């Protein structure tokens, strides 16, 4: 299995802050990396594919970057609706695996 | 607009088989453009991919589920289903179905396909308890 490790596990921030979440893969996954956002009691929502390409309709304050084994998700100016849990997921192999999640909370 | 909806029993006993269906509207499960996935999430924990089925019926499964899983299509009902055998309390989770799409891109100058889960059902909680 390819293990995906996110850091931090939780993060407190304020509206307007810039935050960065890191996702590390246990082996080289090129840019086969997706990001999802999940709000409490809801299904995950797809944000980014190929490490950095935003899904249609995702605000431009979201930015993904990285390749190989290290990836980041940056939200440039937090909005109230961005407080949620974020997951990375590798699609390099069809035994898909997710990171453990990063919970973004309001400070 | 694509919509997915999970359905199944509200409770499963240990050692029995968990069976869920996912009804799809706005798309055909037999389309070769997509795969149809199951993902689960124990309470307060992260996401675990269970497996997927293509529009032609070919499947991929999470090796960690050790042969307990079967995912199949029912094209007459435009549904796909999950069977998880010999369940224990550790299988208690919210189960999601999701559509997987793909897009052509470039990886180091070579064309490649990127796969992602773009539409999800709302999820259904399946407790495993006697």
What local confidence, expressed as pLDDT, does residue A90 receive? Answer: 98
Residue-averaged pLDDT of chain A: 97
Residue from the list A31, A97, A98 with its beta carbon closest to the beta carbon of B107: A31
Q: What percent of chain B has pLDDT over 90?
A: 92
pLDDT reading at A23 higher than 80: yes
Query: What tens digit of pLDDT does each residue of A30-66 get?
Result: 999 999 999 999 999 999 999 999 999 999 999 999 9
B47 in contact with A, Cβ within 8 Å: yes
The angle at the Cα of B104, spanning B101 to B106, to the nearest 5 degrees, equals 135
pLDDT reading at B95 higher than 90: yes
Strands, E, within A14-101: which ranges? 19-25, 33-38, 45-49, 53-54, 62-67, 70-75, 85-90, 97-98
pLDDT reading at B9 higher than 90: no
pLDDT reading at B108 higher than 90: no
Query: What tens digit of pLDDT does each residue of B34-90 get?
Result: 999 999 999 999 999 999 999 999 999 999 997 899 999 999 999 999 999 999 999
B75/chain A closest Cα distance in angstroms:
23
HEC string for B1-67? CCEEEEECCCCECCCCCEEEEEEEECCCCCCCCCEEEEEEECCCCCCEEEEEEECCCCEEECHHHCC
For residues B38-75, b (16+ Cβ closer than 10 Å) or e, as one string? bbbbeeeebbbbbbbbbbeeebbbbeebeebbbbebee
pLDDT reading at B10 higher than 90: no
Q: Are A95 and B46 in contact (CB < 8 Å)?
A: no
Non-local CB neighbours of B20 within 8 Å, separated by 6+ positions: B6, B7, B8, B38, B81, B82, B95, B97, B124, B126
Sort out which chain B residues have CB atoms less than 8 A from A31's CB and list them: 107, 114
| Residue in this structure with the two tokens 């796909």, named with its chain if needed | B80
Query: What is the spatial distance between Cα B49 and Cα B41, in angstroms, rounded to a whole number?
Result: 9
Nearest residue of chain A to residue B5 (CA atoms): A43
Backbone angles phi, psi at B104, to 5 degrees: -80, 135
DSSP symbols for A35-49: EEEE-TTS--EEEEE
Query: What tens digit of pLDDT does each residue of B23-33 get?
Result: 999 999 999 99
Q: Which of B100, B74, B99 minimizes the C-alpha distance to B19?
A: B74
How sure is the predictor about B5, in pLDDT bands with cuts at 50, 70 and 90?
very high
């Amino acid at each position: 299995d390819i293990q995906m490790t996110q850091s931090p596990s939780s993060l407190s921030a304020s509206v307007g802050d810039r935050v960065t979440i890191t996702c590390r893969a246990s082996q080289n996954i090129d840019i086969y990396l997706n990001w999802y956002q999940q709000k409490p009691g809801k299904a995950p929502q797809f944000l980014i594919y190929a490490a950095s390409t935003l899904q249609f309709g995702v605000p431009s304050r979201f930015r993904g970057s990285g390749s190989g084994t290290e990836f980041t998700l940056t939200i440039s100016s937090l909005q109230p609706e961005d407080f949620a849990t974020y997951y990375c997921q590798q699609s390099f192999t069809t035994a898909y695996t997710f990171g453990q999640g990063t919970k973004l909370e309001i400070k | 607009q694509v919509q997915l909806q999970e359905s199944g029993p509200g409770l499963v006993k240990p050692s029995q088989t968990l069976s869920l269906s996912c009804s799809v509207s706005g798309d055909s499960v037999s389309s070769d453009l997509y795969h149809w996935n199951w993902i689960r999430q124990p309470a307060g924990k992260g996401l675990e991919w269970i497996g997927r089925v293509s529009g032609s019926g070919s499947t991929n499964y999470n090796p960690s589920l050790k042969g307990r899983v079967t995912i199949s299509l029912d094209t007459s009902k435009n549904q796909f289903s999950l069977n998880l055998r010999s369940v224990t309390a550790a299988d208690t989770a919210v189960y999601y179905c999701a559509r997987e799409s793909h897009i052509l891109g470039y990886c180091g100058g070579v064309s490649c396909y990127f796969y992602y889960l773009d539409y999800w059902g709302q999820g259904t909680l399946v407790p495993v308890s006697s």
